[in-house]
Structure 1
Amino acid sequence: MLWDLAVDKILAKHKRIDILITSAGINATKRNFDVLTTDAWDDVVNINLNGLFYCVHSVLPTMRAQKGGLIINVSSWAGLHPSKLTGPAYNATKRGVLALTESINTEECAYGIRASSLLPGEVATPILEKRPVPPTTEQRARMVQPEDMGKAILFLAQMPSRTCINQMIVSPTLNRHFIGVVTAPLSK
């Protein structure tokens, strides 16, 4: 598989894998049950959940052998707080990321492997274009920015190996979910 080839190339060059960051996130444009197709469901599950699993599965043998490693899985605010806006496929896959991360910590901590779920709220990235009503430029300016997420990932990566941050939630100060601004229009 493609991910196994990537692991082989990394090992050939660096002899170890210390960190894996999985950050896959797509959503269906027509995302609610009344309009969601089975093909769209499969696409979201294959990228958001299966892709993450295959990458983790590929690095675990190396991390076990070297007795350590960090896996950072980017989930979503929707993993904890599902909504009609994000839809069932996205909600389910991002909740699944949380469960997979917990499973890694449960099964692999004895090997010195730790995993963190990073749960961003609204982040000004291109996935917002798939929303039924994309946010305005002004709204995006008040959201978490990609560089903010980079700093959160760096923070997790710099923690000592004796420390596992199981979950980290990063949301905009003006959290539109809290004030009821983020809602999904009816599909029909």
Structure 2
Amino acid sequence: MRKKQKRDLYAPEEFDEIEEGPSRSQLKREMHELQKLGGDFAALGDKVIKETDLPPEVEEALLLIKKLTKHEARRRHMQYVGKLMRTFDTTRVREIVEAAQQGHAIKTAEFHQMEQLRDRLVDGDDDLLQSMFTAYPEDGQRLRQLVLGARREKLKGQPPKNSRALFKMLKKLPPMPEKDSPAS
């Protein structure tokens, strides 16, 4: 009886026509990305989830995410959510999540702009204070009082009570006209 050699078992022409798909690593990256998308979408709230036309089992799974507190249960459930997210077109979900993230970025930028404006006023930018006084005549006097109080607090090393009140007032004021707007 003749012993089979490894050469006889290997036939490379068999593998020539096999179509290669994405690698396992790529599939895992896509799976994790869908899990993250599901988690980000669920974080937007129950109302957003219910208003979006999702398959019922996906909607139910997304609503359940907030109720799970145990780490392992949450991890397994997120895997399930990722599996469900592969069953339908997630374009609409992506758009909603991106819009929410962009809205957050805009609010953060506006917040930082207000902080810079307040800091410039407290640090002694009297030209800016005068332009704001003329731009907001009804609030000008209170604005000037808060700025002067914040400057005194800063000099004496006191808690920033007036500085906080100034920031709140700046948030409530409408944006200044472009020609009077300060350059940061």
Smaller-chain TM-score bracket: under 0.3
Structure with a larger share of its residues in helix: 2
Q: TM-score, normalised by structure 1?
A: 0.22
Q: TM-score, normalised by structure 2?
A: 0.23
Indicate the structure whose relative CO is greater, using CA pairs within 8 Å and at least 6 residues apart.
1
Q: Which of 1 and 2 has greater Rg?
A: 2
Structure with a larger share of its residues in strand: 1
